Amino acid sequence: MMDWTDRHCRYFHRLLSRRALLYTEMMTTGALIHGNVPRHLDFNAQEHPVALQLGGSDAAELAHCARLGEQWGYDEINLNCGCPSERVQRGSFGACLMAEPQLVADCVKAMADAVTVPVTVKHRIGIDKGESYEFVRDFVGAVSEAGCRVFLVHARNAWLKGLSPKENREVPPLRYETVHRLKHDFPQLAFAVNGGITEDEQVAEQLALVDGVMIGRQAYHNPWWLAQWDARFFDAVESNLTREIVEEQMTEYMARERADHGTPWSAVARHMLGLRNGLPGARRWRQVWSDHKLKDLHPRDVMALAHDR
């Protein structure tokens, strides 16, 4: 979800669900150590609970960045061992780390020793075309011994050569049963399953077998789905939230961001373009909110245009 789940996106998603745990896009240790820390780590207090996802493979650097994350107020630090992109592989992190479980364990231990918030790991069920259950079982076993108690598992292999990141989300077959088997073999650990889940019924089916479900692009492209989650999966009272209320709140947020930080409204609006999917007038609504010719208008005037029939 790099370049997608920035702080504006997370603010939007938090309006839809008060209870779901939100994750940042993956941030590399190099970006935090050598870059602008406030720009990378600043977030809105309304986003809680929110987890910082890190990419890296040096234990000391990850420990340093985990401390930064805790100091900035994140509720969880997550190590990404699932991203298959070649750019990430050149940095020796992401999914290729699954081939080095002891290195991951060392990194997790260093991070866990550095912070008091939970340290979790996101990973795949294998790399390339090997489908050995023992491979992912041993990975989880080694990393759990280092102190990780929560694993977020994309239920596909990561093919490190020959597939784009997009193809890696679609071509390797989904094998949810592997995640279910991990939960059976490690009942003391928590497992959340990720990959190919697009409907409430699928979420409910998985929650009967594992501890959580992670949703990525489906939540981004169909954000109104999130508005049902608190009542359906967290036993919260039914809310009276509407798309119009959310759009109004986002418009106010855009105005604050522009006044306080000079943020163009389009940098925020891009994340909510799926809000009215399937409704009459949705296409025109999206066109208005993505029209850069309107960039100098106040967000409230853009909203009025979007609903002008």
**What are the residue numbers of the active site?**
83
Quick one: how far is CA 260 from the chain centroid? 26
User: Could you tell me which of 93, 76, 68, 74 has the C-alpha nearest to residue 2?
Assistant: 93
For residues 94 and 79, give the distance between their C-alpha atoms in angstroms, rounded to a whole number.
9
H helices of the chain, in order, are 7-16, 29-34, 37-41, 59-71, 86-90, 101-114, 133-145, 165-168, 176-185, 200-207, 217-221, 229-233, 243-261, 265-269, 282-289, 299-306
For residues 180 and 172, give the distance between their C-alpha atoms in angstroms, rounded to a whole number.
18
For residues 115 and 101, give the distance between their C-alpha atoms in angstroms, rounded to a whole number.
21
Q: Please, which residues have CB within 8 angstroms of residue 144's CB and are 6 or more apart in sequence? A: 151, 186, 189
Q: And the tokens for 74?
A: 């994140």
In order of 185, 189, 192, 272, the CA distances from 180 in angstroms are 9, 12, 10, 33
Work out the burial of residue 130: count CB atoms within 10 Å of its CB; fewer than 13 is exposed, 13-18 middle, 19 or more buried.
Answer: exposed
What does the chain come to in residues? Answer: 309
H/E stretch holding 80: strand 76-81
